[in-house]
């Protein structure tokens, strides 16, 4: 039985799926759902859902080392979508997962619109609960421009994936674009059921002795507490677009404590992603769940859903400057 019952104050309804808690383990941080179950005291039941590692049509070896670099209050990674390919994931890995513990979400990646559609179609004929589209991948047909940085390209990917599945479709939005709200709007029109906000920011670290980038791919995605302020703003901006359509958001980026998770919920998220924090504290999820529960008791809240989008903005000009 789940550690948190479906009538628990922590339970949320996300695209028709019942999450026992609002926490979601993010793609790339828990392999294909089994890695953290090896840690004593950790269980997938502590999370409402688990996003599996990014999956492409064919197997990929990923980028050359170094692939990870610790930074102040964060981490750079450039794994390069190393994975065994969608056929092996569906045929060999999914049958080993316990779908009674939690919800499992596939993460679809690709280098062309056609690849996204093919991988999504393969997952559609599987027990996976939902599909997340990683549109931060570069489009090889367009000179390497990332799908997620161009609203037109984003919409094309969402439309193709929508044709390929009836499962809930979650679009993972990149912060490395001019107007994330505009991108969210076209993705809703194209058929996205939900969003994950945000993906990593692009960054670099340099070895001053060799004068070369530390990351073998030269640049990588920055995650961890350093990006939380950016992520909170992006969740707030996307929520303004999603609110009229009742489109839910997984807010993510630098969550390490219950207070962080609560900020994302208040900003407009319906669920909260946990990623980099798992690398140094695999037992962070039960701690965050306990902290959210304590906050709700202090504020006499019956359901965690009562927090979503309750941000009270300051009124510009209300306070006078003393200078």
Which backbone phi and psi does 311 adopt, to 5 degrees? -60, 130
Q: Are the beta carbons of 196 and 148 closer than 8 angstroms?
A: no
Tokens read off for 138 = 């570069």
Q: Are the beta carbons of 36 and 318 closer than 8 angstroms?
A: no
Residue closest to 104 by CA, chosen among 179, 53, 59: 53
Write down how long the chain is. 323
Region of 7 please: left (phi>0), alpha (psi -120 to 50) or beta.
alpha
- The one-character DSSP state at 2 is -
Q: Are the beta carbons of 181 and 198 closer than 8 angstroms?
A: no
- DSSP codes joined into one string, 139-174: EGGGTTEEGGGSHHHHHHHHHHHHHH--S-EEEEE-
Tokens read off for 123 = 């997952």
Tell me the C-alpha distance between 158 and 200, whole Å: 20
Alpha-helical (H) ranges within 194-312 are 228-242, 258-267, 277-280, 284-298
- Residue 323 known to be catalytic: no
Q: Are the beta carbons of 278 and 30 closer than 8 angstroms?
A: yes
Which backbone phi and psi does 172 adopt, to 5 degrees? -90, 110
Interior angle at CA 18, CA 158 and CA 301, nearest 5: 115
* Catalytic choice (137, 161, 242, 285): 137
Q: Could you list the active site residues?
A: 137
């Amino acid at each position: 039985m789940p550690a948190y019952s479906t009538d628990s104050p922590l339970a949320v309804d996300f695209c028709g799926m019942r999450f026992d808690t609002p926490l979601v383990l993010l793609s790339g941080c828990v392999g294909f759902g089994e890695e953290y179950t090896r840690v004593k005291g950790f269980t997938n039941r502590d999370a409402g859902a688990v996003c599996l590692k990014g999956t492409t049509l064919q197997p990929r070896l990923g980028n050359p080392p170094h692939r990870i670099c610790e930074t102040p209050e964060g981490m750079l990674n450039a794994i390069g979508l190393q994975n065994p390919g969608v056929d092996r994931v569906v045929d060999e890995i999914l049958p080993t997962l316990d779908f009674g513990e939690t919800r499992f979400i596939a993460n679809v990646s690709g280098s062309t619109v056609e690849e996204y559609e093919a991988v999504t179609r393969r997952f559609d004929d599987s027990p996976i609960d939902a599909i997340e589209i990683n549109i931060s991948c570069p489009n090889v047909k367009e000179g390497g421009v990332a799908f997620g940085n161009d609203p037109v390209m984003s919409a094309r990917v969402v439309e193709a994936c929508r044709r390929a599945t009836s499962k809930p479709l979650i679009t993972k939005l990149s912060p490395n674009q001019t107007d994330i709200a505009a991108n969210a709007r076209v993705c809703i029109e194209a058929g996205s059921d939900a969003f994950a906000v945000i993906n990593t920011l692009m960054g670099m670290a340099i070895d001053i002795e060799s004068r070369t980038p530390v990351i073998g791919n030269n640049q990588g995605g920055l995650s961890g507490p350093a990006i939380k302020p950016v992520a909170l703003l992006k969740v707030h901006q996307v929520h303004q677009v999603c609110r009229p359509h009742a489109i839910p958001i997984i807010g993510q980026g630098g969550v390490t404590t219950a207070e962080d998770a609560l900020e994302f919920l208040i900003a407009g998220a319906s669920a909260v992603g946990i990623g980099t924090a798992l690398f140094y504290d695999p037992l962070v999820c039960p701690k965050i769940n306990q902290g959210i529960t304590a906050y709700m008791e202090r504020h006499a809240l019956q359901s965690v859903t009562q927090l979503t989008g309750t941000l009270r903005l300051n009124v510009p000009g209300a306070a006078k400057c003393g200078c």
